[in-house]
Amino acid sequence: MSAPLSAPDETEDATNSITRPGRYAACAVHAVRAYGTGDTEVRALDDVTIGFPRGRFTAVMGPSGSGKSTLLHCLAGLDTPTGGQVFLGDTDLGTLSDKQLTRLRRDRIGFVFQAFNLLPTLTAGENVTLPAALAGTRLDQEWVDRVVVSVGLADRIGHRPSELSGGQQQRVAVARALAARPELILADEPTGNLDSRSGAEVLGLLRDAVDSLGQTVLMVTHDPGAAGYADTVVFLADGRIADRMDAPTPQAVLDRLKAFERPARTASR
Amino acid sequence: MGRLTVRNLLAHKRRVAGLVIAVLLGTAFLSGALILSDTVKSSITGLIRDNGAGTDVVVRNATDVTDRPGTDRAAIPAGTADLVRKVPGVASASPVVVGYGQLVDTDGEMITGNGPRIAGNWIDDPALNPYRLTEGRAPQAADEIVVDRASAKQGGLEPGDRITVLTPEPVPVTVVGIATFGEADAFGGASYTAFDLAGALQHVARDPGLISSVSVRLAPGADQEAAAAAIQQVLPPGVQAVPGSAATQEQVDAVSDGFLAIFRTFLTVFAVIALVVAAFSINHTFSVVTAQRMREGALLRALGASRRQIRSQALGEAALIGVTASVLGLLAGAGLAAGLKAMFAAFGFAFPVEGLQFRTETALIVLPVGIVVTLVSALIPAVKASRVPPVAALRDAAVESAGVPVRRTATGAVLIAAGVVATVLADGFLLLGLGAAATVAGVLVVAPAVVRVLGSALTAPFARFGAGPMLARGNVLRSPRRTVGAATAMVVGIAVVTVFAVFAASLKSGAEGETRDTLVGGLTLGDSSSAGWAGGGHSPELTAKAAEVPGVATAVGLQRGNLLAFGSSRDIMAADTARLGTVLDLGVEDGSVEALGTGSIAVSDTAADDHALKVGSRVPVTYPDGTKAELTVAGVYDRTTLVGDYLIDRQAWAPHSVADLDALTVLALAAGAQADQVKAAVEKVAEAYGNPPVRDRDGYVDASLAMVDQFVTIVYVLLALALLIALGGIANTLSLAAHERRRELGLLRAVGAERGQVRASLRWESAFVAALGALTGLVLGAFLAWSAVGVLAGSGDQQVPVTVPAVQLAVLFAAGTLGGLLAGTRPAARAAKMDILRAVSVE
């Protein structure tokens, strides 16, 4: 698992140099995800090398088809790169079996998806502790209670998802991601289906998790407003890292994005 | 819209496959039942036609006292053949002797078979003899025999072997030839032993001066009818000449109306049960598919399709599926028929059948039934689908309501109450049936509310076993109506099996108790089951010898027979009634059953009720030989398991009977005699008679119930097919549900559920549904059986204690649940293989 790694190409992105993967919560090293072969080959990720530092809130942005979702899926062990390596801490995901990847997601990663985050048959509380139930372990109840209170759902804990609003459902998902104290929280367009107020609440929770709990959050979004909550924004275009911006503001992000505007590509992911 | 219908079917192969399988299973059983009964019919009637093919005229006793084919007519004078031969146009006339002949092999054991044990005379005119010698020669002395090839194979007999034939007296003989029935080894399950005419008259005929019939071959071109009329002129009274074709047709009709009709009805009953179970399964599958397609339908509605168009699209699909699946079911029925045939053979009911008989009628029954059942099952979901407002369906995929309307529960409760009251108070089967139907309907209506409460409580303990059962529990409870829908076929199937199991156990324990009460003698000799075949039993000579064994106080032989009374054939028992009381206690209710003599008869209370008889009533009867008599009812008795409904004395029976054969001998032990020693001594005596079994009371009771058990087992196997259909339905809807929930399953996998856990959750779900269905079915079935036994006991005077076969029911529940678990295996495995990325990605 902790095999020594050669240093990635530092010339390509000096500011993002990766000397030892363990320094980062997660990283991709020359990651390639290609679909098809020969003339029809489409590269959703084209030699991406990037590290996500611990205790930081990073947003990944880019136009449709830029590869941002693919990057997230590869980091989560849901998709496998066709070239290069992906690490969580110092674990090379490429060396893991399907079962090990499943356990890694369960024990070391927290997820917040755009929609359909919760099992409709479980209560909000049961959804929060679902990964632990799958692992057959019990979470520290005091901590779970704290998390539930912090996302503002203490009085909704026994309700089923169908009895909750969209914003409340996403907050349950955030609570689930926080409850297991994972190494990395992956959020895929977490506010995509929410109104602006609910969206702001969810983003505030993620921000707070980084600031007060020291969590690492990686969020894919196309909303410059959402990106404004992050410490750093990474821009992807055509499967490559195009730019990065520290201490982003929505306006600056919007301006930067406009520079990418070009005819839409037909292939995605 | 027509093109859309076809497109839709092609686009959703899995849904279509689910529906097709549901219909196919239901129709296959019906098709199989019809094909098998047609096959058996054609082969049995074929055998009968072959048997009579060369006989132009049959001369026989004019009296027929039995509706069983081909046996039991009394004898005619042996000289009749000579009279017939003189009639112009008769080319050949052979006297025919037919009687009882049990072969005993060289080791002294009876060669048992699955049909009557027939002995007779070898007929030299090949046109009149359906048997063909394949080895050896025809018998030429009174102690030489030809045997059928099936018996020869079974007993390892070869020409030259010295063996014994029980006719029923033991006759030492030499096998000189082996014959086939046409091309077949034997005439169905019947064994055949042919002496020469002298031997047959001496050993097989009741009297050397009597024969069974005369087979006549006419000169070429002669008319059967005219010849029969001409022959009739020379015959003594009581003897008739009938054209061969008519005689054959009589037998064919007798088999068709008797055994074959019962067999067909028997199979059809199970086919209908299977079809009803399948109908519930089909209906539920359509409901699920329709719910999944709500959105699609709503889109069409929003685009301007009318309700009627939506409805006819759904029905059009159902029609296509119904036709396709019914055709497949029809074909699958052929395979099933072959399987059923093998099953009956395994239970010792081998049919003399080659190939399968597929008649157009089968298709004309199966196809419309399958199509109509499919359409009716699809109708309700289709109407429901068309009623959904377009906006509602477009807004949310989960159109199916999870709630249980209070009104529905209330309706169900009222139905159950009415049903239970009617069932409990019922004193006849009409009210019982209505009550049962209302109860079943009520239970199904109220079930969703019950699942919500009881299902939740019952599955709760399992949720601790891990994530699989916990998730499964949630899915079972998420939509109680859907859970009930999935389990309904199971409920109905298990209820039917339970009714049968409780009913059979109760009747059996009733019969067992009655047999014990009746059998006051210490030992029995002979096999009660062999008496099921016309003429089975042993020689009265053996009974007489057994009576002389030290330690035996009395030995009473029971003879079976038929006579005509009240306009049709009646099974009677004849015995030495002067001494019968020492071995049997018939539970006399009125008068006396002792010493009936030649002018009296005793009847069961059932027969007394049926024909308004009481002590002193006069009963006109006709004996097999045509003699008419008027008997007086001397007594009315209660217990019928050993003697049936009519009992007469041997003195009255002997002069008119067809064969002198004791079906069973009951022995009373002398005071102080050791049962074991007496039993051994009687067995010794029985050795020379092919070792008929000697049993004590427990042994006899067990043996007599073994037949019942075998029948019960066959019924279980047939009912198991209905359960398979129910399980198929559960598997089907589970795989539809897994498809529907693919995003949930994807989410589960994404947040860390292993494939095994996903699989486990679906298998547990399947087991939960099956278990809930099985439990409901058990309770329902037990209640209905209890009521039915009550009604049955109320209608007769038989004491039938309700017996709940706890072990069988426990096994049934376990089998249902385990079946559910297995049924979930495939859908679960498929669901666990699903692509997580596609499932979690926003469409």
Whether residue B419 is predicted with pLDDT greater than 60 in this model: the reply is: yes
For A117-160, how does the pLDDT look when each residue is reduced to its tens digit (9 = 90+)?
A: 888 888 899 899 998 888 888 888 888 898 898 888 889 999 98
Radius of gyration of chain A (CA): 18
User: Mean pLDDT, to the nearest integer, of A244-259?
Assistant: 88
Copy the structure tokens of residue B359.
């008649």
Q: Lowest mean pLDDT: which of A33-47, B31-45, B177-191, B297-311?
A: B297-311
Strand locations in B13-109, DSSP E? 57-61, 76-77, 90-96, 98-100, 102-104
Shortest CA distance from A136: residue in chain B: B466
Where residue B352 falls among pLDDT bands split at 50, 70, 90?
low
- From chain A, pick out residues whose CB is under 8 angstroms from the CB of B466: 136
Three-class DSSP category at B37: helix
Q: How would residue B349 be classed by pLDDT, with cut points 50, 70 and 90? A: low
CB contact under 8 A, B752 and A134: yes
- pLDDT (0 to 100) of residue B590: 92
User: Residue B252's closest CA among B33, B532, B51?
Assistant: B51
Model's pTM, two decimal places? 0.81
- Measured over all CA atoms, what is the biggest interatomic distance in chain A, rounded to whole angstroms? 57
**Dihedral sign, CA of B77, B82, B87, B90?**
positive
Minimal C-alpha gap between B353 and chain A (Å): 56
What is the structure's pLDDT at B217?
93
pLDDT for res B119: 92
Cβ atoms within 10 Å of A7's Cβ, excluding its own: 10
**Among A131, A122, A176, A133, which residue's Cα sits nearest to residue A151?**
A176
Residue B100 pLDDT? 87
Structure tokens at B173: 């003989």
Residue B294 binned pLDDT confidence (cut-offs 50, 70, 90) = confident
pLDDT greater than 90 at residue B633: yes
Report the complex ipTM.
0.84
Chain B residues with CB-CB distance to A121 below 8 A: 471, 474-475, 477-478
> Range with the lowest mean pLDDT among B596-610, B787-801, B820-834?
B787-801
R_g (Cα) of chain B, nearest Å: 33
A212 Cβ contact partners less than 8 Å away, ≥ 6 residues apart: none
Average pLDDT over residues B353-375: 87
Confidence of residue A13 (pLDDT cuts 50, 70, 90): very low
* Nearest residue to B747 (alpha-carbon basis) of A202, A121, A227: A121
The residue among B19 and B38 whose pLDDT is bigger is B38
Q: Is the pLDDT of residue B840 over 90?
A: no
Nearest to A118 by CA among A131, A107, A100, A106: A131
- Range in B98-107, B491-500, B550-559, B737-746 the model is least confident about: B737-746
Task: With a cut of 60, say whether residue A1 has pLDDT above it.
Answer: no
Q: Does residue A23 carry a pLDDT above 80?
A: no
Coil, strand, or helix at residue B9? Answer: helix
Per-residue model confidence (pLDDT) at position B733: 82
Q: Give B504 or B840, the one with higher predicted confidence.
A: B504
Q: Does B751 touch chain A (CB under 8 A)?
A: yes
Q: What is the pLDDT of residue B788?
A: 83
Neighbours of B829 (CB within 10 A): 14
Whether the predicted pLDDT of B115 surpasses 80: no
pLDDT in tens, A177-213: 999 889 999 999 888 888 888 899 999 999 999 998 8
Average pLDDT (B77-85) is: 92
> Which of the two residues, A40 and B694, has the higher pLDDT score?
B694
| Type of residue at B417 | A
Instruction: Indicate whether B587 pLDDT > 80.
Output: yes
Q: Quick one: B688 exposed, middle or buried, by C-beta within 10 A (0-12, 13-18, 19+)?
A: middle
Q: B672: which residues sit within 8 A by CB, 6+ positions away?
A: none
Residue A20 has pLDDT above 80, yes or no: no
Q: Residues in chain A whose beta carbon is closer than 8 A to a beta carbon of chain B?
A: 69, 73, 76, 78-79, 98-99, 102-103, 105-107, 111, 113-122, 130-131, 133-136, 162, 176, 189, 192
Residues of A in contact with B836 (CB under 8 A): 78
pLDDT of residue B776: 92
From chain A, the residues in CB contact with B748 under 8 A are 119, 130, 134
Across chain B, mean pLDDT equals 86
| pLDDT category of residue A90 using cuts at 50, 70 and 90 | confident
Closest approach of chain A CAs to the CA of B476, in angstroms? 9
Q: Are B751 and A131 within 8 A, CB to CB?
A: yes
Query: Helix B244-255 to helix B13-52 angle, to the nearest 10 degrees?
Result: 140
pLDDT at B532: 45
pLDDT band at A62 (very low <50, low <70, confident <90, very high): confident
Spell out the residues 6+ positions from residue A265 whose beta carbon is closer than 8 angstroms to its own.
A64, A65, A238
- The reported pLDDT for the residue numbered B451 is 85
The helix (run of H) or strand (run of E) holding residue B492 is helix B480-518
Whether pLDDT at B206 is above 60:
yes
CA distance B475 to chain A (A): 6
A216 pLDDT band, cuts 50/70/90, is very high
State the CATH class of domain A53-80+95-260: alpha beta
| pLDDT level of residue B348 (50, 70, 90 thresholds) | low
Give the one of A102, A115, A176 whose C-beta lies nearest to B754's C-beta.
A102
Determine the Cα–Cα distance for residues B728 and B743; give it in Å rounded to an integer. Answer: 25
Taking CB atoms and an 8 Å cutoff, what residues of chain B touch A103?
752, 754
How many Cβ atoms are within 10 Å of A126's Cβ, its own excluded?
Answer: 19
Q: Would you say residue B686 has pLDDT above 80?
A: yes
Chain B residues in contact with A81 by the CB 8 A cut-off are none
At B841 the pLDDT is 67
Q: Which two tokens mark B144? A: 């030489």
Q: Which residue of B has its CA nearest to A111?
A: B751
Compute the count of residue pairs across chains A and B with CB atoms less than 8 Å apart.
Answer: 73
Q: Which residues of A touch B840 (CB under 8 A)?
A: 78, 113, 116
The pLDDT value recorded for residue A8 is 41
Instruction: Give me the mean pLDDT over the A59-85 stretch.
Output: 89
Class of residue B721 by CB neighbours under 10 A (exposed 0-12, middle 13-18, buried 19+): buried
| Residue of A107, A127, A134 to mutate, testing the B interface (most B Cβ within 10 Å of its Cβ) | A134
Measured distance CA(B161)–CA(B148) in Å, rounded: 14
pLDDT higher than 60, residue B273:
yes
pLDDT attached to residue B202: 93
Q: pLDDT per residue over B333-343, tens digit each? A: 999 888 888 88
Q: When comparing pLDDT for B11 and B74, which is higher?
A: B74
Query: Given CA atoms B127, B130, B134, B135 in this order, what sign does their dihedral have?
Result: negative
How many C-beta atoms lie closer than 10 Å to residue B219's C-beta? 12
pLDDT at residue number B690: 81
Separation in Å, CA of B478 to nearest CA in chain A: 6
Residue A264 confidence class, pLDDT cut points 50, 70, 90:
very low
Instruction: Inspect the interface and report whether the beta carbons of A119 and B470 lie closer than 8 Å.
Output: no
| DSSP of B410-457 | HHHHHHHHHHHHHHHH--SHHHHHHHHHHHHHHHHHHHHHHIIIIIHH
pLDDT at B67: 63
Single-letter code of the amino acid located at B32: G
Rounded to a whole number of angstroms, the distance from the CA of B472 to the nearest CA of chain A is 9
Contacts of A117 in chain B (CB under 8 A): 747
